[in-house]
Amino acid sequence: MSAEPSVWRTRASRLVHADKWIRLRADDCVRADGVEIAPYYVLEYPDWVQVVAITDDERIVVVRQYRHGVGRVTRELPAGCMDASDADACAAGARELLEETGYACSTLRQVGASFVDPAHCTNRVFILLGEGARRVRDPRPDATEEIVVETMTVADVVAAARAGDLHHATQVASLFLALGAR
């Protein structure tokens, strides 16, 4: 059995790009055995939340929106970045759910958290399970978002995830973790 991998030492770090959406950092690193890894690029994103919001009649709130990275409309769970003003992940999830869909939940709790891509990104995703979801107002998405809101049965969302029609990999994991926490 081999020893635990060592933590790399960062000799230098420089900011390559920064704006309101992302920070890209280039680190010059050295492993304990002297192997140099330079530059090693790290994306600094804010933490985000993903909400599995379930209505009393066992339907999950989902959204469809255009995603430029893949050049297509995708089906996803309501999700978004945590803001500095959010008290915690549940506050961020409630805010994002309401903004994107117009839905609110009678209960909302964190059922998991994970790093999004620990090899290259600094952020975590917080997985939230909301129950008693109900539409309380019209959605008010950000100016950059064009969102269609729909609900699907739990069975249909699970089938969509298995068929590759829930298009965000971390959301597939979030869906199954949240459903397992019920």
Q: Tell me the pLDDT tens digit for each residue of 151-174.
A: 999 999 999 999 999 999 999 999
Q: How many whole angstroms separate alpha carbon 166 and alpha carbon 96? A: 19
Domain regions of the chain by residue span: 9-44, 48-180
Q: Which two tokens stand for residue 53?
A: 């919001």
Torsional class of 34: left (φ above 0), alpha (ψ -120 to 50), beta (otherwise): left
| Owner of token pair 């804010």 | 46
Q: Which helix (H) or strand (E) holds 165?
A: none
pLDDT of 1 above 80: no
Is the overall model pTM greater than 0.85, yes or no?
A: yes
Average pLDDT over residues 43-56: 97
CATH of 48-180, one of 3.90.79.10, 3.20.20.70, 3.10.20.740, 3.40.640.10: 3.90.79.10
* Distance separating alpha carbons of residues 29 and 99, to the nearest angstrom: 41
> What pLDDT is stored for residue 3 in this prediction?
84
pLDDT digits (tens, 9 = 90+) for 125-141: 999 999 999 999 999 99
Dihedral over alpha carbons 111, 117, 118, 124 (to 10 degrees) = -40
Which pLDDT tens digit goes with each residue over 68-84?
Answer: 999 999 999 999 999 99
For residue 172, give the H/E element and its range.
Answer: helix 169-180
